[in-house]
Amino acid sequence: MHDSAQAPWLYLASQSPRRRELLAQWGWRVELLLPEADDDLHALEALEQARPHEAPARYVQRVTRLKLQAALLRLQRLERRGWPPGPVLCADTTVALGRQIYGKPADAAHAVQMLQSLAGQRHQVLTAVALAHQGQLWQALSRSTVEFAPWGVDEIERYVASGEPLGKAGAYAIQGRASQWIRRISGSHSGIVGLPAYETAQLLRAAGLSPPQALNPQSP
């Protein structure tokens, strides 16, 4: 457990190793704030259900707020066990082809189906970030565009068989093997990975949290 005197550090309410790795690269120390055994996992999964006709941007921002609220309740319980208070960061990523929302694939067949739809197409990757600190909430949204080259069914099936698409929004990881079929991107590479660097740094600054020197372009 981190001592608050050792700032910069924060709680990360995410199971994504990519988000934790990005924060570590930027110089932040992270304490994971994950669901416990007595949490209602079905209720947590239900948070990611899209509403009928819900726009992708509205969806990902709503889900991120709900996940952050759940994390804050979790931290309240942990504080009673001696955990220190601290800033809580949460993020969620979704892929959208038009208004069609692509979350995490349910299984390999679902992943193949998703990638067949995205092959040869240009789609959006939306990552919402939310930060809670000292009773206040800050939010940001990163929008990026990814264009896939045509992708044969055999190639898609081999990629899915690697296991990489499972657990990933849109059934692919831009930092992995899928990059071989990505023609171009526009926007935030780190946002596509799962945590946009610029927007996250802006939220932390807005909350009065001192970022590492590498994140502060105004530092001497």
> Residues with catalytic annotation?
92
Rounded to an integer, what distance in angstroms lies between the CA atom of residue 113 and that of residue 120? 14
Rounded to an integer, what distance in angstroms lies between the CA atom of residue 220 and that of residue 78? 39
CB 91 within 8 A of CB 156: no
Count Cβ atoms below 10 Å from residue 92 Cβ, excluding itself.
26
Q: Residue 84 belongs to what H/E stretch?
A: none
CB 162 within 8 A of CB 105: no
